[in-house]
Amino acid sequence: MSVDTIIAVAKIHLIGGKMESSARLCLTDATYLFGKGDMIAAKHRALKSLAYSVGVLHPVYRAALA
């Protein structure tokens, strides 16, 4: 998955999780880093956002990680 796709998926899964504030912070960081052109750090923060919102065992996280 591309970095911008991972960020979009993280936005979709943002609302409603018990760690929403942490997921939101990571997503904000990912968007900022993406805008600066730092794709590696942006991907890392977007994946962290997904980890907070859906968990690392969720199929969406696994697909984004691959």
Mean pLDDT in consecutive groups of 10 residues from the start of the chain, 66 residues: 95 85 96 98 97 94 94
Question: Residue 42 has which token pair?
Answer: 């942006």
3-state percent breakdown (helix, strand, coil) of the chain, nearest 5: 75, 0, 25
Question: Residue 54 has which token pair?
Answer: 């859906």
pTM recorded for the entire structure? 0.92
Question: Residue 19 has which token pair?
Answer: 């760690």
Question: Residue 30 has which token pair?
Answer: 């990912």
57 phi, psi to nearest 5 deg? -95, -5
Identify the pLDDT of residue 7.
97
